[in-house]
Structure 1
Amino acid sequence: MKLFKSVYVFSCLLMLLLFGMSQATEVKAPPGNEKAEEATLVLFNRNIVVLRSTVLGMAPSERVKRAQARIDQQLEGVGGHQATAISAAPGMLIQIDGAGSFYIAPEDIDPFEQETLAGVAEQAVSALNHSLQEIQESHNVRAILRAVAYAGLATLVYGGLIWLLLKLRRIAIRKLLSFAHEKMAGLNHVGILLIRRERIHWLMRKGFQLLTWFIVLLLSYQWLGVMMSQFPFTRPWSEHLNGYLFGLIVMLGSSILKAIPDLFVACVIFMLAKLVAKGMHHFFDLVQNRSIEIAWLDADLVGPTRRIAAIALWLFALAMAYPYLPGSGTEAFKGVSVLVGLMLSMGASSLVGQAASGLILTYSRVYRKGEFIRIGEHEGTITELGMFSTRIRNGMGVELTLPNSYVLSNVTKNYSRVVSGDGFVVDTKVTIGYDTPWRQVQAMLIEAARRTPGVLTEPAPKVFQTALSDFYPEYLLICQAIPSEPRPRAEVINLLHANIQDVFNEYGVQIMSPHYLSDPENEKIVGQNDWYKKPASPP
């Protein structure tokens, strides 16, 4: 029911549009024409002739009004009427039943079309006779009844086709859904459905719905043309409809035929680009497998370089093939290009900045995947190097996504780059009073590092006195850990701090961090007997 209502509304709108177009009797002259105006003589909804010049002081619109009044007066008589054309230098006089109706001047000929005065007069006589016959037919009751009968029959056929189309659509959807159910039943892999049935059903229904609407619109178009062709007053509209559809088909067909050579060139360009892309892919595979050694291209940079080269290649191919694409020279294509350029210029500035930062970070080799870094307040192991962002996983197992512009604008500490071999640097700082020998402090810190699982003995841990503060020296312990150990850096640091406390407590040395104001009455150390007070338990 909704479909029939939509078809009815569409038909009414189309008729109103054609009726409004038929009422326009005056149009402005095309650019470059010296005439200020032009007017069309219309009789019984059919265009007879276009008048463009001023004759005896009368503008084209005034000439059209006089001609219409004269023709109405001539048609008041009963019987058939016949239009003819005679020469009336310098123009042609159009007559009905031997009496003058209107005059065609040489200046009425369109200067942009190859027309002659005799040809224009002949066309006007033919259209006028056609209109006279239709006027006579409109007064024939028998002809009107026959037209009504044909229109009713066309409506019944139209309704039957619509009903048949809807029924066929339901049958086709049911058959295809049943077929899809049978085929998708075998697409289960290890208990997981590879294709969602809901999406397949939705696509099938939408596809059939679009196809049905397209056929309904074609049927409605043809039905409307047949209906209008039965009645004299609406017959010109039917001719316009049929002419428009035929012209559209011819235009599309000719455009397709003309576009075939250009499409062939565009296809050749894209095929060449595809061949070059395959060659580049093979080349980058060889570099990544270290079969080819190139000084400027490291194996770690093959991934981003491959993507950048592929994007550049296809953009170049698109730019080369653009002039050969159908419609590339039309105003619509140009408008879309301007719109896309405006959107990119307004909204992609930050995106371009992020991409530029990503390229700088990638090719300057600030860090690599798998290295442990610290950026601002964030530290962790790099899990992904992207064009727009960098992802790191910290010691708590949380993945952080940092914009490349943020990474580039902050100081980056790389704990993996300076180590010998694989691994990352672990460092920590303690402050011990001046009453403790610095040699003893260094030995205790190295002992704590040796007790920590995952800390390498080679290279050996090192201790540096980084500052001699007012109340205590500052000691920095630096050692190297193995990334293959199942402990992340945060856990290694946690074990290192625990061992430092244990070693210092064993030797009775008080750690002065974080603040030191005065010596306490009793040293702040934990005896070995108190290491495992409840609820702690020994290992």
Structure 2
Amino acid sequence: MTRHRTASARSTGPRSWPILLLFLSFLAFGIPGAAQGTPAPDQTGGAPPPATGAADRGGPPSARTNAVTIADPAELVVWNRPIVTLRAKIDNVTPAERVGRASQELAALRQEEPTGEAVAVPAQLGALQGYFIEIDNRQIFGLLPQDVDPLQRETLEQAAIAAAGRLNAALRVRAEQRSLPMILRSFGLASLATAVLVLMILGIVWLRRLTLRQLTALSRGNAITVAGIDLRPYSRATGTAVVKALGVAAQLVCVYLWLAFVLLQFSYTRPWGEGLGIWLISLLGEFSHAILSAVPGLFTVAIIFIMTRFVADLVKGFFKRVEAGWLRVHWLEAETARATRRLVIVLLWLFALTVAYPYIPGSQTDAFKGISVLAGLMLSLGAAGFINQVMSGFVVVYSRSVRTGEFVEVGAIQGTVTEVGMLATKLVTATREEVTIPNAVFVTSSLTNFSRHADAAHGSTIGTTVTIGYDAPWRQVQAMLIMSAERTRAIRRQPKPRVVQRNLDDFYVEYRLLFAIDHPETQLFVLSELHGHIQDVFNEHGVQILSPHFNSQPAEPVVVPEVDWHRPPAPPPVEQPETAPAKSPSIPPRD
């Protein structure tokens, strides 16, 4: 058997387990044994079983052993440091049992105070070749080709030498922890780091309070208003939340660094401290790499944003000039310029977003795509009513059915149009009430525009309706209605008021008085005055404003005698000149 040894000096010192246990308990970490692994199922009382062969000690099999298979791996850990991972099952000895027996060998070796170091010793037994890891000629564990990780691309010899080196390093660190000066140094540095942590936390708290006082003082200064809203309470609340969040984040970073530093000072917890440091460095590296990788895309997005903003300003200036009447183009009216401006700017920004989307950092990730799909689905389901209102707004604007300042009647609502928006149209009634009508309702309702065709020569024509029984002469009714209109001050004399008979119902006649006024928005008050005059005139002439209904046929016909056809205030009949009766056209005889 050929032996290959790797040796280095190893120092020993007094045992320091009680002190180390006290400190690690303070850090709330449990202390495993000096050598960790999965114990063998047949382990009793902590004493190693008698060795019956190389396979029983986790080493290469003897000449009588031929069954070597791959089983669930088990890792040998010494002083919180991984040494080797065993994968081969030798006969009935699993990797976990091999690790447990190696741990027992290390525990027994520790009591003997070994002076040598771990070495990798090749062994050729029968048809199998492997390595023993020995200390002072004591076999700790063995390695077979099946124990080597195929993904590491290393030979069995390299794996054995590396395992021996890791075992020597773990034993050396364990020996260092027994040194009283090393323990005192570790405790001293940990105490100093704790004092620095306390000072840093106190400094962060003081700086946070100072910043909050400055924010409060600034919020009491001049008002910051946007659209008539004072933003000081909102800015103070936002600033306070940001400062507190930054303070908590800074404290957490300090605690993280303190914990990593303290763990690095003690041999047993040093791997944990190194893990925390590696994770932090890796996180900072990934964050920096992500920022640097996003710079070109962000630069492209910024260029697209600047160019779009420039074009949007040009478009806005053009449409505002058309809207104000400073510029006239044949394809665009001033009334539709505002809506067209908004539509073009929205389409422009949507186009810019489409172009810039591939350059947004993270836009190609599955998470970003999932959020985009979810946002699109929510927008599709929740914006149906919104899109309906917007499209109805386009119909209202581009049909030019109403304009700002016109007096209209929508359904049963009359008022002056004050705003034609993309979502709703606002009216102000004669009683100074503002009514908001959704554009979808505006489009589907009947619309009467009293101002569109009104001019200085003819005014705006409106009317009122009365129903009178057949026993009242229609000439008299028409004359009384005309007289009532002439008594109303706001009714124009030209064009003259006129009366039309709209319906001949079963029991009454429907008369409609048409007249013109200068200001259609005052028709509520004009009609009120007119209705008063109608009642007065009808009372003066003894005519009832009544719509009779008969349950049975009257005894006498409900007619007006010819002598009463022109009762006042109807004008008297005009004498018609006598004329010769017209001759009937002669019909030529048939042949």
Equivalent of 2:101 in 69, 92, 106: 69
Q: Is the 8 A contact 1:229 1:235 kept in 2?
A: yes
1:103 aligns with 2:143: yes
Q: Is the 8 A contact 2:429 2:435 kept in 1?
A: yes
| Aligned 1:407-486 pairs, distance under 5 A | 407-420=442-455, 425-457=461-493, 459-483=495-519
1:311 aligns with 2:356: no
Aligned partner of 2:576 in structure 1 is none
Aligned partner of 1:510 in structure 2 is 544
Work out the CA distance in 2 between the residues paired with 1:408 and 1:478.
Answer: 28
**Aligned residue-pair number:** 480
| Aligned 1:27-46 pairs, distance under 5 A | 41-46=76-81
Matched residue SS, 1:329: coil
Residues 245 and 479 of structure 1, relative CA distance in 2, 3 Å threshold: farther
1:367 aligns with 2:402: yes
Aligned partner of 2:364 in structure 1 is 329
Work out the CA distance in 1 between the residues paired with 2:340 and 2:71.
Answer: 64
Equivalent of 2:196 in 131, 150, 157: 157
1:136 aligns with 2:175: yes
Deviation at 1:395, TM superposition (A): 3.4
Output one character per residue of 1:304-330: Cα deviation in whole Å (capped at 9) or x when no partner. Answer: 222222222112211211111111122
Equivalent of 1:146 in 143, 167, 185: 185
Work out the CA distance in 2 between the residues paired with 1:482 and 1:50.
Answer: 102
| Aligned 1:390-409 pairs, distance under 5 A | 390-409=425-444
Q: Is the 8 A contact 1:416 1:425 kept in 2?
A: no
Output one character per residue of 1:216-255: Cα deviation in whole Å (capped at 9) or x when no partner. Answer: 1111111111122222232212111111111111111111
Matched residue SS, 2:258: helix
Work out the CA distance in 2 between the residues paired with 1:408 and 1:227.
Answer: 74
Counterpart residue identity of residue 514, structure 2: I
Output one character per residue of 1:107-130: Cα deviation in whole Å (capped at 9) or x when no partner. Answer: 85464xx85447766765554444
Q: Is the 8 A contact 1:228 1:235 kept in 2?
A: yes
Output one character per residue of 1:176-202: Cα deviation in whole Å (capped at 9) or x when no partner. Answer: 544654xx1x5599xxx9856544543
95-104 or 324-333: bigger deviation: 95-104
Q: Is the 8 A contact 2:389 2:422 kept in 1?
A: yes
Gaps of at least 5 residues in structure 1 are: 1-11, 26-34, 520-539
Output one character per residue of 1:398-439: Cα deviation in whole Å (capped at 9) or x when no partner. Answer: 323333333333333333445457975533211123344434
Output one character per residue of 1:360-392: Cα deviation in whole Å (capped at 9) or x when no partner. Answer: 333233433333333334333333323333333
Residues 377 and 147 of structure 1, relative CA distance in 2, 3 Å threshold: same
Residues 176 and 397 of structure 1, relative CA distance in 2, 3 Å threshold: closer
195-204 or 300-309: bigger deviation: 195-204
Equivalent of 2:335 in 300, 303, 316: 300
Counterpart residue identity of residue 397, structure 1: R
Hey, which of these two has a bigger chunk of helix by percent?
1
Deviation at 1:207, TM superposition (A): 3.1
Work out the CA distance in 1 between the residues paired with 2:160 and 2:523.
Answer: 97
Counterpart residue identity of residue 324, structure 2: N
Output one character per residue of 1:48-93: Cα deviation in whole Å (capped at 9) or x when no partner. Answer: 4566x6665899xx43552353144235322466445577899984
Output one character per residue of 1:322-348: Cα deviation in whole Å (capped at 9) or x when no partner. Answer: 111111122331232132123223322
Aligned partner of 1:274 in structure 2 is 309
1:496 aligns with 2:530: yes
Residues 501 and 307 of structure 1, relative CA distance in 2, 3 Å threshold: same
Q: Is the 8 A contact 2:216 2:236 kept in 1?
A: yes
1:166 aligns with 2:205: yes
Counterpart residue identity of residue 500, structure 1: I
Residues 318 and 85 of structure 1, relative CA distance in 2, 3 Å threshold: farther
Deviation at 1:104, TM superposition (A): 6.7
Deviation at 1:277, TM superposition (A): 0.5
Residues 226 and 510 of structure 1, relative CA distance in 2, 3 Å threshold: same
Residues 137 and 472 of structure 1, relative CA distance in 2, 3 Å threshold: same
Q: Is the 8 A contact 2:215 2:236 kept in 1?
A: no
Matched residue SS, 2:469: coil
Task: Kindly report the root-mean-square deviation, in angstroms, between the aligned alpha carbons of the 2 structures.
Answer: 4.0
Aligned partner of 1:523 in structure 2 is none
Residues 156 and 495 of structure 1, relative CA distance in 2, 3 Å threshold: same
Residues 381 and 178 of structure 1, relative CA distance in 2, 3 Å threshold: closer
Aligned partner of 1:389 in structure 2 is 424
Matched residue SS, 1:512: coil
Residues 411 and 145 of structure 1, relative CA distance in 2, 3 Å threshold: same
Work out the CA distance in 2 between the residues paired with 1:71 and 1:241.
Answer: 27
Aligned partner of 1:242 in structure 2 is 277
Equivalent of 2:262 in 227, 230, 254: 227
Counterpart residue identity of residue 524, structure 2: A
Work out the CA distance in 2 between the residues paired with 1:87 and 1:462.
Answer: 127
Deviation at 1:441, TM superposition (A): 3.5
400-409 or 235-244: bigger deviation: 400-409
Q: Is the 8 A contact 1:187 1:194 kept in 2?
A: no
Q: Is the 8 A contact 1:432 1:510 kept in 2?
A: yes
Equivalent of 2:298 in 263, 278, 288: 263
Work out the CA distance in 1 between the residues paired with 2:327 and 2:352.
Answer: 27
Residues 120 and 508 of structure 1, relative CA distance in 2, 3 Å threshold: farther
| Aligned 1:78-97 pairs, distance under 5 A | 78-79=113-114, 82-84=117-119, 93=131, 95-97=133-135
Gaps of at least 5 residues in structure 2 are: 1-24, 39-69, 559-591
Q: What is the TM-score normalised by the length of structure 2?
A: 0.69
310-319 or 350-359: bigger deviation: 350-359
Matched residue SS, 1:373: strand
Q: Is the 8 A contact 2:500 2:511 kept in 1?
A: yes
Work out the CA distance in 1 between the residues paired with 2:272 and 2:381.
Answer: 47
Deviation at 1:266, TM superposition (A): 1.0
Deviation at 1:139, TM superposition (A): 4.2
Work out the CA distance in 2 between the residues paired with 1:170 and 1:296.
Answer: 62
Deviation at 1:280, TM superposition (A): 1.0
Give the % identical residues: 36
Q: Is the 8 A contact 1:74 1:96 kept in 2?
A: no
1:376 aligns with 2:445: no
* Relative contact order, higher structure (CA 8 A, sep 6+): 2
Work out the CA distance in 1 between the residues paired with 2:281 and 2:210.
Answer: 32
Q: What is the TM-score normalised by the length of structure 1?
A: 0.75
